[in-house]
Amino acid sequence: MSSTTSKKNPWGPHLWPPFTQIISASPPIRVLGGDGAILHLENSESLIDAISSWWVTLHGHAHPEIASAIYEQAKQLEQVIFANFVHPQAEKLATRLSALTGLERLFFSDNGSTAVEVALKIAYQFWANQGEPRQQIIAFEGAYHGDTFGAMAVGERNLFNEAFEGLLFPVSRLPWPHTWWDDQNVENKEQLVLQQLEKLLKTPTAAVILEPLIQGAGGMKIVRKEFLQSLENLVRKSGALLIADEVLTGFGRCGQVFAFQRAGITPDLISLSKGLTAGFLPMGVTMAKESIFETFIGEDPRVTLWHGHSFTANPLGCAAANASLDLLAKEPHLFEKFEERHRPHLEELSTHSKVSKPRLIGSIAAFDLAVNDQKGYLNHTGKVLQAKALEHGVFLRPLGQVVYLLPPLCLTDDQLEKCYFAIKKGLDCF
């Protein structure tokens, strides 16, 4: 390591942070604790975590009921090999998620990317198992499905995966007809995509994968439920499987427990993670219809799903997930009513000259900064706004020029007001 890099490296000699170019990185903020939507820092300072720590924190930081569920489970059983054993927390979670999603089978993995990998592998092998292999997979422009190879392949091809382009399997791609308040052209955009989809589906298709209602990392891009319903009709006619990546949208973020429910569609496979354990522990699950599972049963060893992870069905993660589902069931108004709490604030903000394309779904509010700079994730205006909001005690992490709030469900009215106030202060920088 050259001395210039070490001097310029605010992360010190050993840490390698995610999604970060060290040369331009701000020093990391040292955090000592959390409580509800608040992060406690050194020097008795604090910040509102307005993005749920990368969209995972669901009921708040260090939630006592989840913490104690994990503690109680850790004293009983911390881990066991899941190919030979089963345990009550896993059984309970499978029963509950099956009832909530309507999809009977649950396969465990470790994070959102692996929950997507598993969905893709199941979808692809589903066709092979029936002696009718299908090659085509359809995904959307702007999609983000994770950072492992299969997940990268179905995600938008961009700067983040450019180095691996040669290793990613081919995917057929459609525009994402996203919309915002006062969008006059949405039905046209949707029709064009549906026509393209119809054409693509003439080629035998294994699966269509999408983020229901809102693309997250691609820029908080919302589509209408009418579009998803028409899409589902076409997909059904073709026989292809529909994969809903609900890694971000699941567990109340979009106003109902799952976004597919609000959209009025029924996926064949669902990937879940992030809020699954309320943001306490890394865990992913893939839900599958029983009719898919059945094609993996047989004497021929080749029909088996040969996939698994060391920490499959980790009892601590399952305990956290079960405790989180208890909280969701106890206080559904927290996710059902969040949209109406955002609305007046976003309406006011939308009159600002630097705010364009305001949009809102469930607990997620977003807009584009109408400031001239390069497009996309490397746009710097978001960084300027982020720094200003930090001064006002609110942690944001704009996606390029896209500014959004995605707070934990426990955020108080007072804290919500502070978030919007901090954004306004940020907007005044332009």
Ligand X SMILES: *Cc1c(COP(=O)(O)O)cnc(C)c1O
Q: How far apart are CA 419 and CA 417, in angstroms?
A: 5
> For residues 116 and 257, which CB has a smaller minimum distance to ligand X in the complex?
116
Interface residues with ligand X (CB under 6 A)?
A: 111-113, 116, 144-146, 211, 216-217, 245, 247-248, 273
Give the shortest CB-359-to-ligand X separation in angstroms.
17
Q: 159 is written with which tokens?
A: 């700067």
Instruction: Annotate 47-116 with DSSP letters as a single string.
Output: EEETTHHHHT-SS-BT-HHHHHHHHHHHHH-S---TTT---HHHHHHHHHHHHHHS--EEEEESSHHHHH
Give the shortest CB-245-to-ligand X separation in angstroms.
5
The interaxial angle of helices 381-391 and 413-427, nearest 10 deg, is 130
Give the shortest CB-119-to-ligand X separation in angstroms.
10
Give the shortest CB-250-to-ligand X separation in angstroms.
9
Please list the residues that pair with 38 across neighbouring strands. 35, 48
Q: Are strands 394-395 and 46-49 parallel, antiparallel or unpaired?
A: parallel
Give the shortest CB-422-to-ligand X separation in angstroms.
24
Q: How far apart are CA 155 and CA 173, in angstroms?
A: 10
Residue nearest ligand X, Cβ-based:
112
> For residues 122 and 422, which CB has a smaller minimum distance to ligand X in the complex?
122
> For residues 210 and 427, which CB has a smaller minimum distance to ligand X in the complex?
210
> For residues 9 and 20, which CB has a smaller minimum distance to ligand X in the complex?
20
Give the shortest CB-282-to-ligand X separation in angstroms.
7
Local structure of 181: helix, strand or coil = coil
> For residues 111 and 129, which CB has a smaller minimum distance to ligand X in the complex?
111
Label residue 421 exposed, middle or buried (CB < 10 Å: 0-12, 13-18, 19+). Answer: middle
> For residues 124 and 144, which CB has a smaller minimum distance to ligand X in the complex?
144
